[in-house]
Structure 1
């Protein structure tokens, strides 16, 4: 079914306008419904190793295809990808979770904390600073590094003011981050295998220590425990 999603998105990418979308609305509805079923199954599989995912509904995780164009110079009305963010609280959650993104020539699995509010970002940087050996061990674990070889997001040019005097800190770039997100690109063939949902969950399981490290601080920020 992912192949059909990609084929549909290729058409949408070339014809990103309301008349084309309306003409192919039945096809979109069918693919969206199947994607929701796939995300449901993926949630069930993730729940086997991450209990806080238990009971999350696909509709709370899947992003709308409609773009918010109010403040964007790009006025094309539709996204050219299907995506979902699986985390406690769904797609709007501030917690580290699991992200799947299906787009022509840009299919990815990703996770972590994206675009946190400033107070949380400061706390995450402090956690990385205080527990750098643990964090590096997570990032360098061979199976994790193979699945998610790079971090994504903006990086400051200079150390944040809170760490300006930590000139000898061995990993300054980790303190300059505005996001704590890892990403792994996948070929379309990965999603064409019959058990791609199981394979996706297997990749996400490697991310569990990374997300747990981040969520310990997110919980402190939210003042909650789970």
Structure 2
């Protein structure tokens, strides 16, 4: 199946799910999700795979075991491509009733990864490289996001260079488009492809300086 666009019916499906996040609604509209959300997302990822690699499409079900929000279904469809073998640095794409979102960077880092990230930010060579790349992305319209400490991280001073970056526990850049006509056309892969290319330097920096965690996986509860 070649990608022809995200049908308006998929956005309407998510509008309905936001209003009625229940098994009853999901069961009645499951075919709409499969045809108008999951199928076009799979086709989009197939077009992007030759350049960026295979993607993981996330399940539509929420993990409510440890959440105060017990609604059972996600109100968006997301997918991620991890920079091969680097351990940190990924591309992300998401469709919802709000439109299309693309992002890149890292979302969850273990403590050993955060420590390596901060050492690199404080380094006189790697730190300025990240600082310049973040400034370039922000000037290009990207939102720079990620979990951040309010306080100064241990071992650093409020007067340290790049203190804003040092506060980060994760770091990613995000761009969002509200629903417009082009979202329903084959123009989408070009938008996503160009955006992911723009994030390549950030992802390479994270792969080189943060890498994979060395911690043992957490046992599943």
The answer on whether the counterparts of 1:147 and 1:184 sit within 8 Å (CA) in structure 2 is: no
Q: Tell whether the 8 Å contact from 1:86 to 1:97 is kept in structure 2 after alignment.
A: yes
TM-score by length of 1: 0.82
Deviation at 1:214, TM superposition (A): 0.5
Q: Distance in 1 between matches of 2:160 and 2:168?
A: 15
| CA shift digits 1:119-170 (9 cap, x unpaired) | 10110111111122111221222xx335553221222122211223xx4323
> Structure 1's 188 and 106: CA in aligned 2 closer, same or farther, altered over 3 A?
closer
Structure 1 residue runs of 5 or longer lacking an equivalent are 48-52
The answer on whether the counterparts of 1:110 and 1:148 sit within 8 Å (CA) in structure 2 is: no
Q: Does 1:73 align with 2:44?
A: no
Q: How far did residue 80 of structure 1 move? A: 0.4
Alpha-carbon distance between aligned partners in 1 of 2:193 and 2:139, rounded to the nearest angstrom: 15
Helix, strand or coil at the partner of 2:75:
coil
Contact 1:99 1:109 in 2 (8 A): yes
Distance in 1 of aligned mates of 2:184 and 2:139: 20
Residue of structure 2 equivalent to 1:87: 82
CA-CA distance at 1:89 after TM superposition: 6.4
SS at structure 2 position matched to 1:161: coil
Query: Bigger relative contact order, structure 1 or 2, given CA contacts below 8 A and separation 6+?
Result: 2
Would you say 1:109 and 2:102 are equivalent positions? yes
Q: Which runs of 5+ in 2 are unaligned?
A: 215-221
Number of residue pairs aligned between Structure 1 and Structure 2: 206
CA RMSD across the alignment: 2.4
Deviation at 1:220, TM superposition (A): 6.8
| Cα deviation digits, residues 69-103 of structure 1 (max 9, x gap) | 1111211110000101111469xx95211111212
Relative to its length, the structure with more helix (as a share) is 1
